[in-house]
Amino acid sequence: MAGLRRKWRPSLAFVLGGGLAGTLVLSLLGLIALRYLGPEIGFRNAAGLLAVLIGCATGLLGYLMVRLLLRPISALAAYSGAIEQGQRADPPDHYGTQELSRLAGSVLGMAETLQRREASIRVFADHVTHELKTPVTAIRAAGELLSETETLSDQDRALLHQILGASDQMQTQLSALNSVAKARVPEHHGIVALNDIANEISVSFPELNLSIEGGDQTLPLAASGLRIVLKQLLDNARRHGAGRVYLSAEPGRLNVQDDGPGISGGNRDQIFDPFFTTTREQGGTGMGLTIAANLLAAHGGQISLEHSETGTRFEVLFPRC
């Protein structure tokens, strides 16, 4: 960034004003030159000569505009797009005007900040899961060892059952935390159709009767990413008693409708909040929809809960390619 400040660059006002002034001056000089050259060499010859000179001068102005404005803006847009797609890219080496230089510095700084934050989230999740995995496993092992003791009273066994259940819940939450961190890393770029993963999804959820419409429609997300999103949504439907799920794909859109009891009005605004769940007793972590929403957001998509007369309907919108 220090190198950007040391190199002199014209201001945007100077470039635009110079371009407009140059165009105006060329027009006036052309009229004046035609007035005096016409009688000397003929108006046709004078007009031809002036057209060549004005064309060259206009080409020079155009080159300066491209170099000082179009090229830096295009390079900055390409760099930002590459960062958004999770790809490695070299920052632009030419920034044109002073304003574009400051804008480029802000964009580069923002990209570095976002990358550091994403990395810190992943490192924090990995650290927490690593540090807690050992004590949680030890608690689980100790609980299982105690459960083999025949002298425990009914009250002690009930307490031991709660301890084992709590350790299982902690392990599930740690796995969910790690999945959320992974879901925020944009690694699932590509295209996929529902038919490509239909068999795998059906095997993973044998309790659900899946109905697919638009199975050949390609969606702008890799199979690995769509698989994660659908597994979270289908697991949510299964836990809430659904027996049938309808998947409907169309350009840039995916609808997931189940025949379950639906979501109450009091819970609709909280379903995407981390750790919010109504199925804690059945092993729900409250992170499934958060994982799906984070993964889609990392790839420019979004998910929303739509109104439905029966069951629950989610709408997934993908960015236009």
Rounded Cα gap, residues 227 and 234, in angstroms? 10
The four Cα atoms 162, 164, 170, 174 give a dihedral, to 10 degrees, of: -160
- What percent of the chain stands above pLDDT 90? 16
> Does pLDDT of 46 surpass 90?
no
Among residues 284, 319, 78, the alpha carbon closest in space to that of 188 is found at 319
Which SS3 state, helix, strand or coil, does residue 215 take? coil
Could you report the per-residue pLDDT of 55-84, keeping only the tens digit for each? 787 788 778 777 777 777 787 777 777 766
Identify which of 9-18, 85-94, 171-180, 237-246 has the greatest average pLDDT: 237-246
Identify whether the C-beta of residue 149 lies closer than 8 Å to the C-beta of residue 111.
no
pLDDT at 257: 93
Tell me what pLDDT residue 2 has.
41
- Rounded average pLDDT over 106-128: 66
Of the candidates 305, 195, 206, the residue with the CA atom closest to the CA atom of residue 247: 195
pTM over 0.85: no
Which one has a higher pLDDT value, 269 or 237?
237
Lowest mean pLDDT segment, chosen from 16-20, 170-174, 230-234: 16-20
Which single residue is written with the structure tokens 């165009």?
23
Q: Which residues contact 152 (CB under 8 A, 6 or more apart)?
A: 146, 160
Strand, helix or coil for residue 84: helix
pLDDT at 1: 44
Alpha-carbon span 58 to 22, nearest angstrom: 8
Helix (H) or strand (E) holding 45: helix 43-65
CA distance 166 to 163: 5
Rg (CA), the chain: 31
Mean pLDDT of 114-130: 63
Where does residue 49 rank: exposed (0-12), middle (13-18), buried (19+ CB within 10 A)? middle
- Of the two residues 318 and 85, the one the predictor is more confident about is 318
Least confident of 99-108, 245-254, 274-283: 274-283
Classified as helix, coil or strand, 318 is coil
pLDDT given at position 3: 42
Report DSSP state, residue 67. I
* Higher per-residue pLDDT: 99 or 305: 305
Q: Which of 55, 86, 318, 104 is nearest to 188 (CA)?
A: 86
| pLDDT tens digits, one per residue of 131-187 | 677 788 788 888 887 887 777 788 887 888 888 887 777 877 777 776 666 655 556
Q: Which carries the bigger pLDDT value, residue 94 or residue 200?
A: 200
Confidence of residue 5 (pLDDT cuts 50, 70, 90): very low
Residue whose C-alpha is closest to residue 118's, from 90, 83, 89: 83
Report H helices in 184-287: 194-204, 223-239
